[in-house]
Amino acid sequence: MRLSEKIGYGLGDAACSMFWKLFSVYLMFFYTDICGLDAWVVGLLFLVTRVWDSLLDPFVGLVCDRTRSRWGTFRPWLLWGALPFGLLGVLTFSMPDWSEGDRVAHAAVTYSAMMVVYSLVNVPYASLLGVISSDAQERTTLASFRMAFAAGGSILAVLLIEPLARLFGGEAGHPGGWTASVAVICALVVALLLATFLSTRERVRPVRSERHSVAVSLRDLMHNRPWLILAAAAICLQLFNAFRESGTVYYFKYCIGEGDSSVVLGGVALTGSVLFVAVGQLFNIVGIIFTPALAARFGRRRALAGVLLVTALLSLGFRLAEGAGLAALLAAQALISLTVGGVLPLLWAMSADVADYAERCTGRRDTGLIFSSYSMAQKIGWSVGSAATAWILSLAGFEANAVQSEATLSVIGFLQSILPAAAALGAFVFVLRYPLRDGQPVES
């Protein structure tokens, strides 16, 4: 496979991850501190919207599996969805000057529509991994390219969002600056998705079989033990990410103090939260680079279990860095992110193995369903983790743009260490039960 196609495939997740990072790190903060919405209401909004959207993913996958066009099965969805994807991203980070109830309704409608289109783009994009190549090592390499570009896209989004928002006048009570900054990012997202559509090809064709119903496909999925275990691990992983990322801006604004942790680089003031997320994404890339070698040396299952266990231990150790200054926090973030970088490439490559395993068992290839249901599991974890973060803040007495109590500050710090460690440990336990070794059943 040509390097240009691997890069082209990676560009698609650079686009998707720009939005994912904006949603996971900044959207809750945008709603509470910029638009003035209540944290408890935001938590409920996140839970309802994201869980409903996650349940939609398997049906999107089924529709994709049944798509036939001159561009293939999954690629055309990138072409059809790119522009709506960008437009709805802008609308999600907008807020009219309406009553609080109307603003909540606006947030619910725009965010719900955004997540539906996100599914229509991201599910077929993820499914492409299963049909670009049938070679196991090539898939691991592709997944690594994907995750490296995803981390790069996240870094770019994080470095752009706050400086552009300040440039355009975004502050508490004035969301227009944030809307304008997201519009700049959205234009880039659309271009990257179209580049992925143009540069990739589908090579693995489904086996010919009798037509089967959606109910049969869903029944087979629920009897697929490797998928069930991998989905449970994915839920735990996204709980880990949601706790840390949703709480990051709050942690630096209220616990550390953004003014005390800001750094000026090239004439641009970067807040502590921006540096923290950017360092995390940079070391994600370093971890991703070593993932193919790690998988080749130990096998994907053992490699994944190992990095999850180390991630859990390092997350517990994050508490030791608190109070030691910005450099210590960034060092702790770098170590955690180095191990986390290897997790997603391994999980996505193992999902392709699960699709192959399902085809051998049933005689049918439901690649879109396998990948979309795995995406569903991730979104459920993300939904529960983000909603729980908002509710925990509310129960701890959080008040936007106010001095927080010691109890509230302690809880915000708790979201960066103890809860993520528990989630990573849960994922580790599930991976130990995974019954495939590089696509083949483990001998008992």
pLDDT tens profile 338-359: 998 888 788 877 877 887 888 8
The pLDDT score that the predictor gives to residue 348 is 75
Cα separation, 29 vs 161, whole angstroms = 13
CB 77 within 8 A of CB 64: yes
pLDDT for the residue numbered 399: 86
The whole-number pLDDT of residue 141 equals: 83
Query: Could you tell me the pLDDT band of residue 138, with boundaries at 50, 70 and 90?
Result: confident
Q: How confident is the model at residue 89 (pLDDT cuts 50, 70, 90)?
A: very high
Average predicted confidence (pLDDT) for the chain: 85
Q: Are strands 268-270 and 436-437 parallel, antiparallel or unpaired?
A: unpaired
Are 382 and 242 in contact by the 8 Å Cβ rule? The answer is yes
Q: What are the structure tokens assigned to 194, written together? A: 């179209």
Among the residue ranges 166-180, 316-330, 403-417, the one predicted with the least confidence is 166-180
Sign of the dihedral through C-alpha 103, 104, 106, 111: positive
Instruction: Quick: pLDDT tens for 211-270.
Output: 556 778 778 888 888 889 999 999 999 999 999 988 888 888 888 876 555 666 666 667
Pairing of strands 263-265, 436-437: unpaired
pLDDT at 377: 86
CB distance 114 to 92 below 8 Å: yes
pLDDT at 442 over 50: yes
Do the bridges between strand 268-270 and strand 263-265 make them parallel or antiparallel, or are there none, so unpaired? Answer: antiparallel
The pLDDT value given to residue 84: 95
31 pLDDT above the threshold of 50: yes
Please name which of 123, 13, 116, 111 lies closest in space to residue 58, comparing C-alpha atoms.
Answer: 123
User: Which of 307, 293, 317, 309 has its CA nearest to residue 338?
Assistant: 307
With beta carbons less than 8 A apart as the criterion, state whether 73 and 62 touch. no
CB 150 within 8 Å of CB 13? yes
In this prediction, residue 435 carries a pLDDT of 85
264-287: buried (b, 16+ CB within 10 Å) or exposed (e) per residue?
A: eeeeeebbbbbbbbbbbbbbbbeb
Contact between 26 and 245 (Cβ < 8 Å): no
pLDDT computed for residue 444 by the predictor:
37
Amino acid of residue 163: P
- pTM score of the predicted model: 0.76
Q: How far apart are CA 344 and CA 231, in angstroms?
A: 12
The whole-number average pLDDT for the span 170-194 is 87
Is the Cβ–Cβ distance between 75 and 202 less than 8 Å? Answer: yes
Reported confidence tier of residue 171, pLDDT bands at 50, 70, 90:
low
What confidence score (pLDDT) does residue 76 get? 92
Contact 129, 13 (CB under 8 A): no
pLDDT band at 109 (very low <50, low <70, confident <90, very high): very high
The mean pLDDT value for 59-73 works out to 83
For 56-67, b/e burial (b = at least 16 CB within 10 A) is: bbbbbbbbbbee
Residue-level pLDDT at 223: 84
Residue 269 host element (H or E): strand 268-270
Residue 414 has, within 13 A of its CA and on its CB side, a CA count of: 12
Greater confidence, 143 or 186? Answer: 186
Can you tell me the distance from the alpha carbon of 53 to that of 65, in angstroms, rounded to the nearest whole number? 19
* 8 A C-beta contact, residue 390 and residue 246: yes
When computed from its CA atoms, the radius of gyration of the chain, rounded to whole angstroms, is 21
Listed in sequence order, the residues at least 6 apart from 211 whose beta carbon sits closer than 8 Å to its beta carbon are none
What pLDDT, on a 0 to 100 scale, did the predictor assign at position 327?
A: 87
Q: Output the CA angle 32-35-38, nearest 5 degrees.
A: 40
Cα gap 181→157, rounded to integer Å: 10
Contact (CB, 8 A) for 188 and 154 = no
Q: pLDDT tens digits, residue range 299-310?
A: 888 999 999 999
Percent above pLDDT 90 for the chain: 32
Alpha helices in 207-325 (DSSP H): 214-222, 225-250, 272-298, 300-321
Please give the backbone phi and psi of residue 170, each rounded to the nearest 5 degrees, phi first. -80, 125
Provide the pLDDT confidence category of residue 421 given band limits of 50, 70 and 90: very high
DSSP reduced 3-state for 189: helix
Q: Are 276 and 337 in contact (CB under 8 A)?
A: no
pLDDT greater than 90 at residue 91:
yes
| Predicted pLDDT of residue 203 | 82
Fold of 3-199+214-441: Growth Hormone; Chain: A; (1.20.1250)
Please report the pLDDT score of residue 266 as a whole number. Answer: 62
For residue range 210-226, what is the model confidence (pLDDT) as tens digits?
555 677 877 888 888 88
